[in-house]
Every structure is written in C-alpha cells, then in structure tokens.
Amino acid sequence: MILNTEAAAILDPRITERRNPRTQQIDLAEPIGIVDLMIAEDRTISDAVATQREHIAAAITAAEETFRSGGRLFYVGAGTSGRLGVLDASECPPTFGTPPEMVQGIIAGGLAALTQAQEGAEDNLDQAEIDLKARGVRGNDMIVGIAASGTTPYVRCALEYGRALGARTVIVACSPPPARTLEVVDIPIVAITGPEVVTGSTRLKAGTATKLILNMITTGAMIRMGKTFGNLMIDLRATNVKLVDRSERIVAEVCAISREDAHEMLARADGSVKLAIVMHSLGVDKDEAARRLDAEGGAVRRVIGGEPPPVL
C-alpha cells in the first residue's frame, strides 16, 4: 500500500491525468454499465464549457477581427487535440465557402499524425516554429493552441512564436496551463472536464469539450462574417449531390420560388447561394449582387433587408 505522503508525491498536477473515482470499477462492468458510466461523465461536459462562455465569445470576436484584417486562423495541437483542429479547419470551406488557407490546422508530426500516433512529436521544441514559418504565419494572424492537459511543449512553443510576431493567441485546454503558457496567451479558454473515464485518455471528455469549443469559435466568427442568413447556411460550397440539393432548397425557400427556378438562379450565380438570393431579391445581375454584398461586409440581411423565412 502506498502511504498518503507517497501518493501525494506521485499525484499528477494535471487534472486530465488524474484517476476518476467514479469509474475505478469500470473493468468489471457489463457493456450497459460501461455505457451508463460514460453517459454520466459526458453529461458534465457542457457545464464545463459553459464556464468559459465569455472567453469563447472573446475568441469569436478576435477571429472575426483577424479575418476582416486579412489574417488567418491557425489551430496548433498534438495527438487528439491536433486532429480536432485539423478537422475543424477542414470543414470550414465546404460549410462556409471559405478558402482553405483562411482556417488551417497544424498537427505535431505532420500529416502522418492524423492517422497514426506520433506521440513523441509533441516534445519537439523546435518543430512548432518550423511548422508555423512554413505556413508563413504573420502578425495579423491568430494562433489557437489546443492542449487538453495545458502543458504540451509543441503548443506552448507555437504560442510563444505567435506572440513574438504580434499574432493573437488563444489556448484551449481542459486543465489549467502553467504560468509560462498563460503569459503568451491573449485569451485562455480552460474548460475543466475533470478526470477521464479511462485515466489520461483525453480523447474522451476533454476531446468532446474541445470539439464543442472549436465549433463555437469558427461557427461564431463565420456567422459574424455574414456566412448565414438567420440560421441558413448561405455560403456553402456545393461540392457533392447533397450540398447541391441543399443549395437549391435554401434558394427556393428564401426567395419563395420553385426548385427549378432556384436551380436556374444558382446556375446564373455560378453556384453561389448568396449571390443567387441577392440577384433574385433585388433583380440585379451577378456582378452587381457581388458589389452590394462587398459593401455590406458579406451580410445578406443587410443587403436585401427583411427576415429569413419562418421555420415551418
């Protein structure tokens, strides 16, 4: 038996690395018991994220300002955190019609780390700066470091490099980061999700909380950039049959026209839902619709006035 003093000496200060007393018998549980234990733990995630609502809102504002100044958002992480950043970045172009360089994900170990663990890569103190230099990171960009434990060296070094350039810096963590990291961060987002179901497996609660936070940052910034009309996705990129169908349905609903007319209008707008809506609503051609959108920061509501169609 380990004495209390010895136990205290080996207790990891990182909350995400501690043992969860509620799941210490999970290896004896039947499948339904495992599910129930995990559901019970997962119910706490939203509350943990909610404690960071003001900081997340600040990150949305920072991202919007970054985009409007011509800057880019870079997610930087290792392991699960890095994969979540790459995932969120890769979903922005089809969802919001953004160029791929506008939101980018950088993972320690490079592309190989997306499908095969490169766990030692997070300890490479020089590689973070090398990776950011390769992307041409500048002072008007925004660096969002993602580190569930709050202590990932690769992420800390990326944030230090970003701060030195004058870039906006954010940390997304699920355990309090050390003072050295917080010193180079403009906005700390620290959602304390507690010990994991399986000790140290931050792909679980911490990973889920991280996904929620990243969803909010990019979705919130894109909404502020005029990428939606109400809650309609009007700047999507129709790259498959499902998205072509969605584009036609949105134009038909907003403009109160038939699917056939919506299809024709989208063809005239080169597939742009935004342009098609403005063209039909104001009776203008594509170039004039684009000019009016640019004048209003891309916000359809400010160009055509009125409200989105009601939810039926």
Express each pLDDT in 30-58 by its tens digit. 999 999 999 999 999 999 999 999 999 99
Would you call 5 exposed, middle or buried from its count of C-beta atoms within 10 A (0-12, 13-18, 19+)?
exposed
Q: What is the pLDDT of residues 165-221, one digit of tens each?
A: 999 999 999 999 999 999 999 999 999 999 989 998 999 999 999 999 999 999 999
91, 129, 253, 288: which one is catalytic?
Answer: 91
Banded pLDDT at 14 (limits 50, 70, 90) = confident
Does the pLDDT of residue 16 top 90, yes or no?
no
41, 122, 196, 248: which one is catalytic?
Answer: 122
The answer to whether 241 and 263 have CB atoms below 8 angstroms apart is no
Q: What are phi and psi of 197, to 5 degrees?
A: -55, -45
Residue 147's Cβ-side half-sphere holds a number of Cα atoms within 13 Å equal to: 27
The full set of domains in the chain, from first to last, is 46-224 (3.40.50.10490), 228-304 (1.10.8.1080)
Q: Identify whether 248 is a catalytic site residue.
A: no
Q: Identify whether 64 is a catalytic site residue.
A: no
Residue owning tokens 């050295």: 180
Please state, in angstroms and rounded to a whole number, the distance separating the CA atoms of residues 34 and 275: 50
Least confident of 2-11, 221-230, 248-257: 2-11
Entry pTM: 0.89
